[in-house]
Each structure stands twice: as structure tokens, then as C-alpha cells.
Amino acid sequence: MPIVTATIGRRTRGDGDTVDLTDDLSAAIGESGLGNGVATLFIGGSTAGITTIEFEPGAVSDLQQVFEAIAPQDRDWRHHLRWGDHNGHSHVRSALLGPSLSVPFVNGALTLGTWQQVVLVDFDDRPRTREVVVQLIGE
């Protein structure tokens, strides 16, 4: 049973920018030649997260509205005292959402629901270039 490592690169706008990784993830599985297994996605960095959502502007906006209520951008976060930056909210949101996601695939297809996409949410307060690691383990 082999392991195949892939990466998915994205340029994001920050501020909760949510990008759909599903097609690239499916392509990585296709290129691996694996039939059944698990895709582990991971974002290196402490100001972004990975989850699934119905990727349409309303639901994406709703999620951001809730994060803004839970961890507002303009609070005097203690993290700001450390570096003099202004992305304390980004760190909290990232820790809450989590940096990893594991998605099984069967017969080469992700086991996602019809209205469910794999997304990277970039909480940082500025545009970033991100690289999501995809580790495929299967047969």
C-alpha cells in the first residue's frame, strides 16, 4: 500500500477568504492511481483552517459572520502584544476550525455529499500564498 504526497497551492485574499479545493483533491486522487483510501489534508500555518461546507456565497458568508461574532477582528487580542501585529483573531479562528481534514475515497471517488465541498479558509489579515499538503494512503 503506497503513500502519495501531493500539494495544492492557492493564492488567497485573507480575511476569511474561502477557496474550494475539491477539484484539485479529486485530481490528486486520480493521478495517484489509488482506488480506496484516506486523503489527509493539512495546512501548514496558524492562521487558516480546513473544513467542508456547501460552497455557495451565502453559507460561506454565514460562517464568516459567526467567526466574527465569536472572535472579532478588532478586539485587543493578547497575541498583538507579542509581535505588534493585528491578526490575533486569525489565530483563534484557525485553532478552533483546525488545520486538518481526513476524507475517505472509495473506487477513486471522494465520499463527499452532493452539496459538500472541501475548503481552505484563510483567516489571516492579508493576502497569502498557501500550500495545502495532501497525503494519500490507500491501495
| Contact residues: a copy of itself, CB under 8 A | 1-3, 5, 36-38, 40, 42-46, 51-54, 56-59, 61-63, 66, 69-71, 77-82, 88, 91-92, 94-104, 106, 111-113, 115-116, 133-135, 137-139
Of the two residues 27 and 109, which places its CB atom closer to a copy of itself in the complex?
Answer: 109
CB 13, min distance to a copy of itself, A: 19
Q: Are 91 and 46 in contact (CB under 8 A)?
A: yes
**AA letter at 32:** S
Question: What whole-number distance in Å separates Cα of residue 35 and Cα of residue 126?
Answer: 38
Of the two residues 13 and 102, which places its CB atom closer to a copy of itself in the complex?
Answer: 102
CB 117, min distance to a copy of itself, A: 8
CB 32, min distance to a copy of itself, A: 13
First to last CA, the chain: 5
Question: What whole-number distance in Å separates Cα of residue 134 and Cα of residue 132?
Answer: 6
Of the two residues 26 and 46, which places its CB atom closer to a copy of itself in the complex?
Answer: 46
Of the two residues 5 and 30, which places its CB atom closer to a copy of itself in the complex?
Answer: 5
- Element of type H or E holding 68: helix 57-70
Q: What angle do CA 59, 37, 51 make, to 5 degrees?
A: 20
